[in-house]
Amino acid sequence: MIRIEVVQGDITAVRADAVVNAANSTLLGGGGVDGAIHRAGGPEILEACRELRASTHRDGLPTGDAVATTAGRLPARWVIHTVGPVWSGATDRTPLLRSAYSRSLAVADELRARVVAFPLISAGAYGWPLEDAVDVAVSTIRGASTEVEHVVLVAYGEAADRLLRAAVD
């Protein structure tokens, strides 16, 4: 069974085998978590992402999928980049959000990572309602078949922290 821990703060400072990046499909950096990871990790991450774009992901990383790169200067070995869906009130994109978590854990298994830090995927600029994002994250991680032993859910802000702690306890 996966041990889930909640911390509030900066995901770029979390010590883990792998840190999950809520990336955009270009893999070339952006705002929010994506920008913070690229800034803190340094140019090695961007270079590794460019190599992925040139070789296997010319059209970008599909929503719900995940890939890994070096973590550069982060206190982790790898960054697992995943693209979450943009929230829509008209279309249920929950399966894509679940896939972003599941695929990230599958990539972590391929890397043999045992401790993985996650942000709340899609809950920032992609507009996913916070309570639902928490429910999807926790239920997907708890239900996963994985070798990952410890997941750190990193809350950005007090509301996310409160909701995550309530869902995990």
Is residue 34 annotated as a catalytic residue, yes or no? yes
Inter-CA distances, 43 with 33, 70, 88, 106, 115, Å: 16, 10, 33, 26, 24
> What is the rounded distance in angstroms from the CA atom of residue 151 to the CA atom of residue 100?
15
DSSP code for 116: E
Strand order in the sheet with 150-155: 3-8, 150-155, 115-118, 18-23, 78-83, 66-70
Residues constituting the chain:
169
Collapsing DSSP to helix, strand or coil, 86 comes out as coil
Contact present, 143 and 151 (Cβ < 8 Å): no
Out of 10, 17, 34, 59, which one is annotated catalytic?
34
Question: Annotated catalytic sites, by residue?
Answer: 34
